[in-house]
Amino acid sequence: DAGVIQSPRHEVTEMGQEVTLRCKPISGHDYLFWYRQTMMRGLELLIYFNNNVPIDDSGMPEDRFSAKMPNASFSTLKIQPSEPRDSAVYFCASSLAGREDSYEQYFGPGTRLTVT
C-alpha cells in the first residue's frame, strides 16, 4: 500500500483565501484523523471520522474550519477564510478499528501551510 496520501505538500496563500487540504487514507482503514502541528501547541487533533462519519470535531478551532469525508478513500479539510495564525503542518492519519488493542495511527507526510 502507498500509505496515507496528502496533497498538496506545501501551500502558501494570502490571508482571506480559501484553502483545501486533501487526504487519501490507507485502504481498509476505518478511522481518519486530521491533526495540526505547531511548535507552540504541538500536535492537536482537529476532527476524526469513523466509517466516513464525523465523530468528534471538538478540536476544530472555529467555524472557518470544516472537514468532509464523502467516501472511504477521500477526505478534505477546508479553511475559509484563512488567517496567518492557521500556518502549521496539517497531518492526516488513518487506522483500523481505533478502539481496539494496539491499532496505531498511520500518518501522511503532512501539508505545510503558510498564510501570509
Partner 1 sequence: GQNIDQPTEMTATEGAIVQINCTYQTSGFNGLFWYQQHAGEAPTFLSYNVLDGLEEKGRFSSFLSRSKGYSYLLLKELQMKDSASYLCAVRDSNYQLIWGAGTKLIIKP
Q: How far apart are CA 40 and CA 2, in angstroms?
A: 31
Contact between 99 and partner 1 by CB under 8 A: the answer reads yes
CB of 80 to partner 1, least distance (A): 25
Q: Which 13-72 positions form the footprint of partner 1 (CB under 8 A)?
A: 42-45, 48, 56
Output 28 or 70, the one with its CB closest to partner 1.
28
- Residue for cell digits 488493542? 101
Q: How far apart are CA 14 and CA 116, in angstroms?
A: 5
Q: Which of 32, 110, 113, 115 binds partner 1 (CB under 8 A)?
A: 110
Q: Which 69-98 positions form the footprint of partner 1 (CB under 8 A)?
A: 91, 98
Eight-class DSSP state of 84? G
The binding site for partner 1 (CB under 8 A) comprises 42-45, 48, 56, 91, 98-99, 101-102, 104-110
